[in-house]
Structure 1
């Protein structure tokens, strides 16, 4: 049996001993567990003579008997107010094992440890705790909790934020439970917050956007946030995992939830209303509305993923019949889902997306010709990122072209790395310099008219207006899809700035993993969207030339 150090015993014996009887016990907060999250035991030490709680802790169910002693020590040395540090004359417990354990541990402190079948003060306290816990409103109605969580994870796996921006609104016409049409806004393309906002009116959505754009004062933004009228689903990292990582010095300040496994993601549902404020609780009808809205959105995204991924927000609509839980009187309802390109355009105009500065960066003519003779066929190619620290070394140690004042936001500068032999690398660098340097990097859709294949074409634009093909990727390749998602996010962080690295060493030990010494040139540029490039889908011709 573990006992106190002699110095600890001497310290505790110096506390004044008062003629009081303390009650001590450990038990679950509630007589029954409502969910797997409701785990833990509560340890209480109460001064029965004065009727005050001296110490309380909540510990894991599997915590050993030492836990009750730790709480007792705090009750003696650092008790809750208004109690003063002291040790009791007598302790009573209702558990024989706890009694014998405490007798062994406290034998030097001159405290009597007795057994009693009942602890009146603690019994009353725990009855109060249980009533509070049992009467708490759950975050989700129990009969819908599992259903809503499954829909939330289906949304997470569908990743609508990979191709839908927040202003690209999708309407969901339900006409049930006093809800007419919801207006879904998808958050996550910026890699900061992921979720779905379901506005009860387009006016509420526009008012909030206008308020955010008008004022960047924190207090005013908070007030605007609370004036929204919407239901929501958001995602965050599991709180228990965050606690485990609190001491990790390597945590990335800009960690992207999308890079975590789904097991570490937790959905949260709730409601925002001007008169209610924010509450992370859904009631029965709200839960049904959210279920129907999410199921409709999942189906719509699945059916129109390719069209929604196009740079121009398309006009689409579709009707669905959504099944309701078996407990409901109504078995299913009809729902109409549609994109709202006009509303999206209005929100973009509010945000000032079409600014003169942007037009200056992407001046016309955008391109003169498309060539595939710049990058050697046997080159190693990768989409990645260069840390800000390494970027400093590259800018000083290799042939370097600067693009602008790049703010070090995120994990680094997104780059296309092309590794080839030293002679061919020198030729590529010289060709880019002869064309005036690198202007932009773009991924543009390409299609094979002879089949069903769709490609993601990697293009380099030089400052003389020429386009060069550097890579051809299958549109449904999961590795490339993930690399592109990270590329898009990193470009968002850097306000569109990116880079091209030309490296040697294709036939050496560093093949596929070029080191700093292998890198020969860094060309900085900007990332262009297909819409900004403005050449449409490129058709692969039989002679393997793009027109």
Structure 2
């Protein structure tokens, strides 16, 4: 049986022990009978591990693991529940643990024997049983993303659009009207996304005004993150977007257009000012989208040569679209047409914004995210002036070129901890980019997720920008860290630093010591106004407004 290292046991014994009883269990996610030990079915996709403080009635730790994951997983979740519990719990070690599985009980007795924790058995776990009943109720009450009777046909039409790839020759402002005149829809205005190779999809606006308002909002460089989110949620449209079937964090951006069809996943949804964003279509919406996609597909197929020109031509065509078999109406006549005048108006809006932007400071053209390894540990902190003197002498060091007065509690720093080989690569990359010039936090937004972010950026002396972190605006831990960062940078008159450290997989993970520090780059702290790039959009790859 695997047991803790002695050093780990000593560390865990230092965690304060409290007079509480914790419940722990591991159950299939699809098992709605949470109060019985029913066998797992082949359809179960994973298992949920829960540790709950029965005395305080709070969840301290939770993980989802694969079925075949060994018993070590429940111990890993327990360790996090003790040392790094979910808020609002504080680090603590229980006096007693109760489980409902004999094998888990005996396993934990062997592993935790040095931690002075009693491991007991109980046939029922009231708190965890109640939690899983709640999970089951939520799952049972979920509305399917698409009406079951139309799901297959909608996916077929989506894949037909994907293979037709209208974004290869149509830009977003080259709108195509689809006159439906049914289901309370007069005309839809289709905007094609994907020519930039970032976000692929079809936006089906219910009105021209909605399309114009949103485009105008996106083009404004001075639009705040909150304003951009509000503008996004005020759209009135149905949508189809394409993503990778299995979300994977790639070290470099990969255009999903290069992936095989089997790895492409279509997503349908609706945006409305009074509803917001939902990735669900109801019956009538599903029929509208079905008809719109089929007519758009035929129009692109029939006029591909005319559309694939420098000028957006005036074209129109009428189609009779057969409806799904379970509909009373057998078919529907639909008119499809290009809208050159609207396209010219939208282009003129973009041209006006371009003229305004060129009158000021030059804009950055790209933002790279290939500098900092994905699995790195990141923190915002401070280095005391005494330690700073040691660092300057003992590691790869880039001075800022001016004398930094030791004011305040130290130099504010961004610390990146990774493995030794990756740390060396990061250092070499920064040196190759002529060194670090500045560190900045800049607003970012995900229009399709209606979320806002605080993006951590590194600016090198050759003018490149590198993303080192994405932080949610409403994360209280980050908000507090940013407040301290801003105050410390104010104390140092805008000076800060970047520390690259090794030891990510060692005992000093998350708390690198002086011996782990490999490089110190001193730099200036820039405000978003100093950087002058406006709000960055994640669609899904970062791009500038």
Q: TM-score, normalised by structure 2?
A: 0.57
Distance, in Å, in 2 between the alignment partners of 1:227 and 1:50 is 42
Deviations 1:149-180 (A, max 9, x none): 33222212111011112222211111221111
Deviations 1:371-403 (A, max 9, x none): xxxxxxxxxxxxxxxxxxxxxxxxxxxxxxxxx
Deviations 1:169-203 (A, max 9, x none): 21111122111111111122233332211111223
Deviations 1:232-265 (A, max 9, x none): 12233456212xx2xx3xx14xx54433444444
Distance, in Å, in 2 between the alignment partners of 1:215 and 1:190 is 19
Deviations 1:307-354 (A, max 9, x none): 22133333332222323333433343222222223333443444449x
| 8 Å contact from structure 1 (residues 241, 264) kept in 2 | no
Matched residue pairs, number? 352
Distance, in Å, in 1 between the alignment partners of 2:363 and 2:12 is 61
Deviations 1:182-229 (A, max 9, x none): 111112223333221111122332344445556652444444333322
TM superposition shift of 1:85: 3.9
> Would the alpha carbon gap of residues 292 and 32 (structure 1) be closer, same or farther in structure 2, given more than 3 Å must change?
farther
- 1:203-242 maps to which residues of 2 (within 5 A)? 203-213=209-219, 216-219=222-225, 220-238=227-245, 240-242=247-249
| 8 Å contact from structure 1 (residues 30, 134) kept in 2 | no
Distance, in Å, in 1 between the alignment partners of 2:175 and 2:161 is 16
Which residue, out of 66, 70, 73, partners 2:72? 66
Deviations 1:287-317 (A, max 9, x none): 2211111111112111221122133333332
Distance, in Å, in 2 between the alignment partners of 1:32 and 1:123 is 10
Unpaired segments ≥5 residues, structure 1? 357-404, 412-547
Distance, in Å, in 2 between the alignment partners of 1:19 and 1:333 is 70
**2:187 is paired with a residue of what secondary structure?**
strand
Deviations 1:113-156 (A, max 9, x none): 33322111211121112222332334333443343333222212
Distance, in Å, in 1 between the alignment partners of 2:43 and 2:200 is 23
- 1:129-528 maps to which residues of 2 (within 5 A)? 129-213=135-219, 216-219=222-225, 220-238=227-245, 240-242=247-249, 245=250, 248=251, 251-252=252-253, 255-352=254-351
> Would the alpha carbon gap of residues 209 and 94 (structure 1) be closer, same or farther in structure 2, given more than 3 Å must change?
closer
**2:247 is paired with a residue of what secondary structure?**
helix
> Would the alpha carbon gap of residues 216 and 13 (structure 1) be closer, same or farther in structure 2, given more than 3 Å must change?
closer
**2:312 is paired with a residue of what secondary structure?**
coil
- 1:76-87 maps to which residues of 2 (within 5 A)? 76-81=82-87, 83-87=89-93
Are 2:32 and 1:26 equivalent residues in the alignment?
no
**1:154 is paired with a residue of what secondary structure?**
helix
Are 2:94 and 1:88 equivalent residues in the alignment?
yes
The more displaced of 174-183 and 105-114 is 105-114
> Would the alpha carbon gap of residues 75 and 408 (structure 1) be closer, same or farther in structure 2, given more than 3 Å must change?
closer
| 8 Å contact from structure 1 (residues 28, 42) kept in 2 | yes
Partner of 1:8: 8
> Would the alpha carbon gap of residues 198 and 408 (structure 1) be closer, same or farther in structure 2, given more than 3 Å must change?
closer
Deviations 1:23-58 (A, max 9, x none): 21111344369xx99833221122334433332222
Deviations 1:78-126 (A, max 9, x none): 3345545443343222222222222222233343333322111211121
Distance, in Å, in 1 between the alignment partners of 2:14 and 2:211 is 65
**1:166 is paired with a residue of what secondary structure?**
coil
> Would the alpha carbon gap of residues 132 and 305 (structure 1) be closer, same or farther in structure 2, given more than 3 Å must change?
same
The CA RMSD over aligned residues, in Å, is 3.4
Distance, in Å, in 2 between the alignment partners of 1:351 and 1:21 is 62
Distance, in Å, in 2 between the alignment partners of 1:215 and 1:82 is 39
> Would the alpha carbon gap of residues 299 and 94 (structure 1) be closer, same or farther in structure 2, given more than 3 Å must change?
same
Q: TM-score, normalised by structure 1?
A: 0.57
Partner of 1:385: none
> Would the alpha carbon gap of residues 11 and 225 (structure 1) be closer, same or farther in structure 2, given more than 3 Å must change?
closer
| 8 Å contact from structure 1 (residues 215, 221) kept in 2 | no
Distance, in Å, in 2 between the alignment partners of 1:215 and 1:290 is 33
Partner of 1:441: none
Distance, in Å, in 2 between the alignment partners of 1:22 and 1:47 is 4
Unpaired segments ≥5 residues, structure 2? 34-41, 356-361, 369-545
Distance, in Å, in 2 between the alignment partners of 1:211 and 1:78 is 42
| 8 Å contact from structure 1 (residues 185, 196) kept in 2 | yes
| 8 Å contact from structure 2 (residues 28, 44) kept in 1 | no
Distance, in Å, in 1 between the alignment partners of 2:351 and 2:12 is 69
**2:313 is paired with a residue of what secondary structure?**
coil
Are 2:62 and 1:56 equivalent residues in the alignment?
yes
TM superposition shift of 1:66: 0.7
Partner of 1:488: none
Distance, in Å, in 1 between the alignment partners of 2:237 and 2:365 is 35
Distance, in Å, in 2 between the alignment partners of 1:147 and 1:32 is 31
